[in-house]
Amino acid sequence: KLRGKNNYQVFTPELARKQRTEARLALDLRDALEQQQLELFLQGQFDQAGQLTGAEALLRWHHPEHGLVPPDTFIPLAEESGLIVPIGRWLVEQAGQLLASWHSNPLSQSLQLAINISSRQFSDPSFVSDLLNCLQRYRFNPNLLHLELTESLLIDNASEVADIMMRLNSQGLTFSLDDFGTGYSSLAYLKRLPLQTLKIDRSFVRDLLNNPNDALIARSIVSLAHNLGLSVIAEGVEEQAQLQALTQMGCGCFQGYYFQRPMPVAEFAARYLQHNARSTA
Ligand code: C2E
Ligand code: MG
Ligand code: MG
Ligand code: MG
């Protein structure tokens, strides 16, 4: 079902097992928030000089039996069941706390925090009020809270989405399009949205050096972003040669294992936000 309605699949014992596991996980997920099994990890984002400019928050689920369950597994389950709404609310709260705590430290007070927002969460009637409420309580600079959306959000209800984005943007919040190039954005539409950043999907970065088509796509995304007056960040940078190629294309910001893997908030703080810490990669 997660694969969409028109996707015919042969029923195999393996598939049956997978579906049972997913059903179990979906049930367990109901308790995950209350049992404090969800944790925010952070992955730094760096400019061309290797200077830390911000971080993306990536959720982790510590399952009591299965250990770490990756977000690619549990976020779709949370979307399907609607649990993404309370999980997203919790995430916004965590983000507010984090930005408030960063505010008092000169090493972190201008760092941007990006959070991922899924379609169902965005469409929830309380989404906007939760965010504005969070802003009001934590009083961080709203420019520093960055919302990552995916193109899929824009397919069905683009004008409604645009309205919500405008409302939040008028309060200072900023947006990027995540996994850019993998969806079906109407290029004409991009211009009308209050976007700040296009995020080059890591599938194009992975084979950048060997596959001329991927290199061409990455280059095109960079120039598209620049022509629209947007900044551009590449995700999934794992090697220095990829970094160099992207830099030559004019990409200004990077994220990936080459710099660091996502890490617990405390580890991130120890690495970057103490007075003897380095803020470069
Ligand atoms: P995303 O937002 O595109 O996040 C980037 C993913 O790429 C993360 O996977 C990150 O760990 C991984 N990554 C970063 N650098 C590299 C690299 O150099 N090489 C490779 N191979 N991978 C890299 P992760 O943390 O497993 O998250 C997967 C997806 O789950 C995210 O993709 C996002 O769509 C979703 N997700 C994660 N946290 C949240 C959340 O709080 N809310 C929502 N709605 N979705 C989330
Ligand atoms: Mg993201
Ligand atoms: Mg992405
Ligand atoms: Mg992705």
> Looking at per-residue confidence, does 184 or 7 come out higher?
184
- Ligand 1 atom 11: residue of nearest CA: 262
Question: What distance in Å separates the CA atoms of residue 26 and residue 22, rounded to the nearest whole number?
Answer: 6
Using one digit for the tens of pLDDT, what is the confidence trace for 64-73?
A: 999 999 999 9
The predicted pLDDT at position 274 comes to 85
Q: Which residues pair with 197 in a beta bridge?
A: 176, 231
Residue 157 has pLDDT above 50, yes or no: yes
Percent of the chain whose predicted confidence (pLDDT) is above 70 = 95
Q: List the shell of residues around ion ligand 3, using CB closer than 5 Å.
A: 178-179, 235
Task: Check pocket membership of 202 for ligand 1, CB cut-off 6 A.
Answer: yes
Q: State the pLDDT at residue 216.
A: 97
- Model confidence at 9, in pLDDT bands (50, 70, 90)? low
Read off the pLDDT of residues 195-222 as tens digits, 9 standing for 90 and up. Answer: 999 999 999 999 999 999 999 999 999 9
Q: Whose CA is nearest to atom 46 of ligand 1?
A: 116
Our answer on whether the CB atom of 71 is closer than 6 Å to any ligand 1 atom is yes
For residue 126, is pLDDT > 90?
A: yes
CA-nearest residue, atom 22 of ligand 1: 236
Ligand 1 atom with the shortest distance to the CA of 70: 26
CA of 178 to the centre of ligand 2 (A): 5
What pLDDT does 278 receive?
Answer: 66
Q: What is the per-residue pLDDT across 231-274, written as a single tens digit (0 to 9) for each?
A: 999 999 999 999 999 999 999 999 999 999 999 999 999 999 88
Using one digit for the tens of pLDDT, what is the confidence trace for 83-99? Answer: 999 999 999 999 999 99
CA distance linking residue 172 with residue 170, whole number of Å: 5
pLDDT at residue 166, as a whole number: 96
Using the mean position of ligand 4's atoms as its centre, give its distance from the Cα of residue 178 in Å: 7
Atom of ligand 1 nearest to the CA of 179: 3
| Cβ–Cβ under 8 Å, residues 230 and 197 | yes
Q: Over the chain, what HEC string results?
A: CCCCCCCCCCCCHHHHHHHHHHHHHHHHHHHHCCCCCEEEEEEEEEECCCEEEEEEEEEEEEECCCEEECHHHHHHHHHHHCCHHHHHHHHHHHHHHHHHHHHCCCCCCCCEEEEECCHHHHHCCCHHHHHHHHHHHHCCCHHHEEEEEECHHHHHHHHHHHHHHHHHHHCCCEEEEEEECCCCCCHHHHCCCCCCEEEECHHHHHCCCCCHHHHHHHHHHHHHHHHCCCEEEECCCCCHHHHHHHHHHCCCEECCCCCCCCEEHHHHHHHHCCCCCCCEC
Tokens of 182: 């993998």
Closest ligand to C-alpha of residue 180 is 3
pTM score: 0.93
Q: How many CB atoms lie within 10 A of CB 222?
A: 20
Tell the residue nearest (CA) to atom 43 of ligand 1. Answer: 116
Return the closest-CA partner of residue 251 out of 45, 48, 43.
48
Position 1 scores a pLDDT of: 45
Q: What is the ipTM of this complex?
A: 0.98
**C-alpha 202 to ligand 4 mean position (Å):** 7
Structure tokens at 121: 């969460």
- Distance in Å, CA 144 to ligand 4 centroid: 21
Is the shortest distance between the CB of 238 and ligand 1 below 6 Å?
yes
CB 106 within 8 A of CB 65: no
